[in-house]
Amino acid sequence: MVKICCIGAGYVGGPTMAVIALKCPEIQVAVVDISVPRISAWNSDTLPIYEPGLDEVVKKCRGKNLFFSSDVEKHVSEADIVFVSVNTPTKTQGLGAGKAADLTYWESAARMIADVSKSSKIVVEKSTVPVKTAEAIEKILTHNSKGINFQILSNPEFLAEGTAIQDLFEPDRVLIGGRETPEGQKAIKALRDVYAHWVPMDRIICTNLWSAELSKLAANAFLAQRISSVNAMSALCEATGADVSQVSHAVGKDTRIGPKFLNASVGFGGSCFQKDILNLVYICECNGLPEVANYWKQVIKVNDYQKTRFVNRIVSSMFNTVSGKKIAILGFAFKKDTGDTRETPAIDVCKGLLGDKAMLSIYDPQVSEEQIQRDLSMNKFDWDHPVHLQPTSPSSMKQVSVVWDAYAATKDAHGICILTEWDEFKTLDYQKIYDNMQKPAFVFDGRNIVDVAKLREIGFIVYSIGKPLDEWLKDMPAVA
Ligand code: UDX
Ligand code: ADP
């Protein structure tokens, strides 16, 4: 029986392994993590991450061929294939600070694999890592191998949160990179055989190690670039009276461009886009390609500009001050159908408003108060460390309250900011909300989900990203 072990029971490791277990009943899959609470949660009725469809998959396999354990060494030593899906934070100190990936956790996982292994293993990079990481890991393993054969593969994950299970069931492609030696090709085949249980062969792409590593960074950079492109257009739309939804619809009809991923927003978030682009920028700089580095850097700059522009719109329309005013924040997760807040634009928007002394009342259907307080008090990049190494519980901020209902959040508020596109925000009783708010009552829609005409009819002053401006806002430019 083939045994698989995955180090890191996070957003990538957990769902990916659950689907492998479901699709390959004859393979035994163990997911291990140094975080004991995280493993306990995976073994409980309340999984540590919210992902539509995940509960069912885990329930079907857990205890049969899917196991969650904190006995990392035991499961690694028994496995034929070891996936590594640990944190790869952006460095905050030393060489490459603010850009390069910190491979501390990866290196310690690799050293542990070498220590406990008694039989040959295929080691699979699952976390997004800089190009050439596989080579570094290979060196650690072979220098500590005691004669054991390790083959390194890169098998980047392309799942998006909120649709992870669907993405894993029907991936656009599975990418496997390995050495071009006979042993490397054999390892590629072994991993390909696992995916071939449910993925058509023509969707399994096999490449060399470096192409696989770079493809992941490139794919995320291209996706983020599309959003920054449409967000850049949204600013121009507001200035000219064009409507960004109409523009992206027209542009997306060109089959060479395509309609997906062209929604203007308050900015992209998530654990991957910014981190991967910073990584790409660093690699370009290290390879003497400053022009290429600057090109990609601009994608992040436009994303930051979009968030700042949104805050400026809010402050300038509310008579240039939000000091002491209650502002409702609807949605804190970085996108709908996830409770994940990593790099969510809500953090920067809330921090911007808090900087102007606003009183925030925050509601998100999936994010806990503790998480929100932690996010608002954490330093940049601190989030991307194992939980037990993150800063301890923050003292909760007086200016921030977290409530469990959109109506409570908006009661007596001066303005509403919609920062996540949760479906429930589309069907709220906005008349009731308006009646309970201070006047003039503002809605700032960072996700373009509300019916602007209807809200204006009720009496709201509405700002929607990239849409023709409300008369109220026309004389109040959002430029700092
Ligand atoms: C992304 C990639 O899609 C995935 O392939 C990779 O494995 C990990 O990174 P994820 O971060 O989970 O996945 O979510 P994604 O759906 O890509 O959204 C990222 C951010 O972009 C979100 O904040 C989302 O709201 C925003 N977005 C997305 C837009 O603002 N507009 C769009 O049109 C699409
Ligand atoms: P991703 O989104 O890439 O899955 P997460 O941060 O959700 O990232 O998950 C990474 C997991 O890896 C965390 O649960 C963390 O505790 C775990 N981890 C980090 N280092 C190690 C290690 N050396 N051994 C086992 N687990 C580790």
Residue for token digits 């939000």? Answer: 322
- As a whole number of angstroms, the distance between CA 243 and CA 342 comes to 30
> Could you please report the per-residue DSSP string of 255-291?
TTT-STT----S---SSSHHHHHHHHHHHHHHTT-HH
Q: Report the share of the chain in percent with pLDDT over 70.
A: 98
Question: 256 and 179, same structural domain?
Answer: no
246 and 194 in a common domain: no
Asked if residue 232 is part of any domain, the answer here is no
Q: Which residues are annotated as a binding site?
A: 8-13, 33, 38, 86-90, 127-128, 161, 272-275, 342
By the 8 A CB rule, do 341 and 334 touch? yes
pLDDT confidence bin for 395, thresholds 50/70/90:
low
Does residue 125 sit within a domain? yes
Same domain flag for 171 and 304 = no
Q: What is the pLDDT of residue 187?
A: 97
Q: Which residues are annotated as a binding site for NAD(+)?
A: 8-13, 33, 38, 86-90, 127-128, 161, 272-275, 342
Q: Which atom of ligand 2 is nearest to the CA of 128?
A: 3
Do 13 and 151 have their domain in common? yes
- Nearest ligand to the C-alpha atom of residue 218: 1
Buried (b) or exposed (e) across 122-154, using 16+ Cβ within 10 A? Answer: bbbbbbbbbbebbebbbebbeeeeeeeebbbbb
- Ligand 2 centroid vs 331 CA: distance in angstroms? 26
Structure tokens given for 407: 């109506």
**CA–CA dist 158, 172 (Å, integer):** 9
| 131, 164, 199 - which closes a domain | 199
Q: Is 82 in the pocket of ligand 2 (CB under 6 A)?
A: no
What distance in angstroms lies between residue 272's CA and the mean position of ligand 2's atoms? 14
CA 120 / ligand 1 centre spacing (Å): 37
CA of 372 from ligand 1 middle (Å) equals 20
Task: Tell me: do 32 and 181 sit in the same domain.
Answer: yes
Judgement on whether residues 303 and 445 belong to the same structural domain of the protein: yes
Closest atom, ligand 2, to C-alpha of 35: 16
Ligand 2 atom with the shortest distance to the CA of 12: 4
Instruction: Report the chain's mean pLDDT, rounded to a whole number.
Output: 94
93 plus 169 within the same structural domain: yes
- Cα dihedral 143, 124, 58, 64 sign: negative
pLDDT tens digit string along 29-53?
Answer: 999 999 999 999 999 999 999 899 9
| Torsion sign, CA atoms 424, 425, 431, 437 | positive
Summarize pLDDT for 322-373 with one digit per residue, the tens: 999 999 999 999 999 999 999 999 999 999 999 999 999 999 999 999 999 9
Residue to substitute in 85, 166, 227 for testing ligand 1 pocket (most ligand atoms within 8 angstroms of CB): 227
Ligand nearest to the CA of 341: 1
Express each pLDDT in 56-103 by its tens digit: 999 999 999 999 999 999 999 999 999 999 998 888 889 888 888 888
For residue 233, being part of any structural domain is answered with: no
Domain match, 267 and 367 both = yes
Task: Using DSSP, state whether 7 is helix, strand or coil.
Answer: strand
Ligand 1 atom closest to 267 (CA): 30
At 445, the pLDDT band (50, 70, 90 cuts) reads very high
Ligand 2 centre to CA of 8 (Å) is 4
- What CATH number did the domain enclosing 466 receive? 3.40.50.720
CB of 109 within 6 A of ligand 2: the answer is yes
Same domain, 186 and 269: no
Q: Looking at the structure, do residues 466 and 348 belong to the same domain, yes or no?
A: yes
In the predicted model, is pLDDT for residue 302 greater than 90?
A: yes
- Is the domain of 193 the same as that of 247? no
Residues within 6 Å of ligand 1 by CB? 157-161, 220, 223, 227, 261-263, 265, 268-270, 272-273, 334-335
Q: What number is the average pLDDT over the span 111-129?
A: 92
In-domain check, residue 323: yes
Give the span between the Cα atoms of 9 and 15, in whole angstroms: 9
In a domain? residue 480: no
Number of domains the chain contains: 2
Q: Is the peptide bond before 290 cis (omega within 30 degrees of 0)?
A: no
- The answer as to whether 228 is a domain residue is no
Q: Is 470 in the pocket of ligand 2 (CB under 6 A)?
A: no
Q: What is the mean pLDDT of residues 393-418?
A: 90
Give the domain-ending residue among 199, 233, 252.
199
Q: Does residue 221 sit within a domain? A: no
Query: Quick check: CB of 338 below 6 Å from ligand 2?
Result: no
- The whole-angstrom separation of Cα 447 and Cα 263 is 8
**Ligand 2 contact via 386 beta carbon (within 6 Å):** yes
- With a cut of 90, say whether residue 398 has pLDDT above it: no
* pTM (whole model) above 0.85: yes
Mean pLDDT of 144-167: 93
Q: Are 341 and 333 in contact (CB under 8 A)?
A: yes
Same domain, 188 and 251: no
> Ligand 1 centroid to 273 CA: how many Å?
8
Joined together, the tokens standing for residue 220 give 């995320």
Q: Cβ(13) to ligand 2 under 6 A?
A: yes
Residue 478 lies in a domain: no
- Return the active site residues: 272
Residues of the domain holding 176: 3-199
| Among 199, 229, 250, residue at a domain's last position | 199
Sequence length of the chain is 480
How far is the C-alpha of 51 from the C-alpha of 253, rounded, in Å?
Answer: 31
Closest by CA to 122, choosing from 65, 189, 213, is: 189
Residue 480 has pLDDT above 60, yes or no: no
Q: Which uninterrupted H or E stretch holds 227?
A: helix 209-240
For residues 285-308, give the mean pLDDT. 97
